[in-house]
Amino acid sequence: MTTAAKITAALLLLLIAQALVADDWPGPRVMTVFSEDGTRFVRVEPGESIGDTVGFTGAKRGAYAKALFYVRRADRAYHLAAEVALLNPVAPVDLLLSNSGYLIAFNNWHNVGHGKAVAVYDPSGRWIKRQVRPTRKAECFQTWSGRYLSTPD
C-alpha cells in the first residue's frame, strides 16, 4: 500500500469515527422533581411540538410540555395543586423545585442554550420569569446547569 493510500484510508477512518459520535439526543421523557424537604413535587410530561424547536422546522406541532404541581397534605398524601402548560415545546432538560414550590426549568429538549433557556414558575404554575437566549449567543449557555443555582427559601 502506498503512502498516499495509507493517508487516504486513515482520513476516511477518522471521518467515519466522527460520524459515529454525532449529536444524538434520547427521546423526551417524563421527569419528576421533589423539593428538598419533600413537601412538593412536580411531574413534567413531554409535549408534542417538535416543530417549535430550533432545527425542526416543518415537523409536527402540538401541545407543549405539561407540568403537574403536587403538594403534600397533613395526612401525608399528595394532592394536585396545579396543571399547566410549560414554555417548552417538548420538554425541559433539567428542573429544580424550591421548598416553597417555585419551579425552574432549564433549556429545551434537543435545543440546549437556544430559545427560552431558563423559565421560572410560581407555586400555582404561572410563569413569572424567563430568560431567552438568541441562537447566535447560544454557545455561551450550552453547558448551563441549574445544579449550581440556589433558591431564596
Per residue in 47-102, pLDDT (tens digit) is 887 666 766 777 778 888 899 999 999 999 999 999 999 988 888 888 999 999 99
In-domain check, residue 63: yes
In-domain check, residue 153: no
In-domain check, residue 118: yes
In-domain check, residue 122: yes
More confident residue, 149 or 121: 121
DSSP string, 65-114: PEEEEEEE-TTS-EEEEEEEE-S-SS--SEEEE-TT--EEEES-TT-TTS
* Residue 110 pLDDT > 80: no
In-domain check, residue 12: no
In-domain check, residue 14: no
Which pLDDT score, from 0 to 100, does residue 150 have? 39
Dihedral angle sign, alpha carbons of residues 128, 80, 46, 63: negative
Quote the percentage of the chain above a pLDDT of 90. Answer: 36
In-domain check, residue 10: no
Tens of pLDDT, residue by residue over 124-138, are 999 886 665 544 444
Quote the percentage of the chain above a pLDDT of 70. Answer: 64
C-alpha grid cell, residue 22 = 454525532
* Residue 116 pLDDT > 70: no
Query: Domain count of the chain?
Result: 1
* Residue 20 pLDDT > 70: no
In-domain check, residue 152: no
Its domain, for residue 92, covers 28-144
